[in-house]
Amino acid sequence: MIRNQWYLVCFEDELKNGKLLKRKIVGEEIVVFKTESGKVVVLQDRCCHRNVHLSLGYIKGEHIKCGYHGWEFGATGKCEHIPSLSPEEKIPRAACIKSYDSQIKHKAVWAYFGDAEKKDEATIPPFKELDHWPMVYNYHVVKGNIKLVAESLFDSHHINHVHRNSIKTLMGNLHSEKPDYHLTVTEKSLQGWYLRDNENSIFEKVYFGFEDKVEAHFGYWFPHSSQLDLRFPAHLTMPARQMVIYEHFYEIDEDNVMMIQITTWNRIFEYNPWFAKWFMLRKSMKIVEEDIAFLESNKYWHSREKLNDLLIKPDELTFEFTKLWNKNIKRNAEKTYQEETAELPN
């Protein structure tokens, strides 16, 4: 599992009314909550007294209180109060649990999982549209391969087929011609754009435009985030419109991947924001369900036999993504090996 990263834990609006959220990210169980003063806290989801989940408890002021025997823990993970101890007795030094560095960015709570000395090397992806535009999001557990989940959103050729009954023609189509990808690749990211055929219905063309092509932008930030950005230029009396889909993903454990899909938009159904959210969430849920069927099917066959995917020339984006993925996985493995061997006695 890929550690030494900032992972999206939850969204700010989920932490309301004293709610405790439990998560499992790269094998680590955590509890997330907001204190009475509004501070966001991320702790190991474990009371060190009788080793039960803290998420079974509740928030009391600036602490989380274990629901079993009432032990209270602060933001640092240190136990601050034990009801059964007299005022003269000291709380044991060992009465503490792991706390996680966290920050709020793009209306989401991010927590760092990994070695403290490597935190500066990790970055949060630029989900800048979430700061200003309306959005919907949903969580999905996938029994899939993390690498294929990472690529799924910007796989340009699957949209015509997997989403033929949901997206249909809204995002444009690709046929036999090879897309002209305009790629920019860095050490840990891949971004670019290409054109898709505009085969929208007449209603969709009136609303989104009559241009022959739809401009599709995409992005990927190793290891956990991808983007599909569709841009519809101004036409007739209609303003320019834009829809951006982000996916954030991480391994829950060895068998399951969490996929968080976030859809945000600008000037789409702007006069009926309630309908816009209902429509976008409904579409988003359907799209992800269609993707999951194939992501899990892929893992099914790979788990049964030693198979390689048969890639062909039009899979250009897959080749570029795979090179980026493999390079970073190899680099992380080499760093881990060097650190482990450095700790061995001479």
DSSP states of 227-280: EEEEEE--BTTBPPEEEEEEEEEEESSSS-EEEEEEEEEESSSTT-HHHHHHHH
Q: For residues 63-77, give the mean pLDDT.
A: 97
pLDDT exceeds 90 at position 10: yes
Query: pTM higher than 0.75, yes or no?
Result: yes
pLDDT for the residue numbered 168: 64
- Residue 16: predicted pLDDT: 87
pLDDT tens digit sequence for 284-339 = 999 999 999 999 999 999 988 888 889 888 888 999 999 999 999 998 877 665 66
Which amino acid is located at 9 in the chain?
Answer: V
Q: What is the dihedral of CA 54, 59, 61, 62, to 10 degrees?
A: 40
- Selecting from 3.40.50.10190, 1.10.510.10, 3.40.50.10260, 2.102.10.10, what CATH number does the domain 5-121 have? 2.102.10.10
Note whether 249 and 260 are within 8 A (CB): yes
Percentage above 70 pLDDT, the chain = 92
Q: How far is CA 59 from CA 24, 32, 62, 97, 337, in A?
A: 20, 11, 7, 16, 41
Q: Is the pLDDT of residue 160 over 60?
A: yes
Write down the domain spans for the chain: 5-121, 128-330
Between 203 and 256, the higher pLDDT residue: 256
CATH 3.90.380.10 fits 128-330, yes or no: yes
Q: What is the mean pLDDT of the chain?
A: 90
Give the pLDDT confidence of 199-238 residue by residue, as tens digits: 767 777 766 776 777 888 999 999 999 999 988 888 777 7
pLDDT at 340: 56
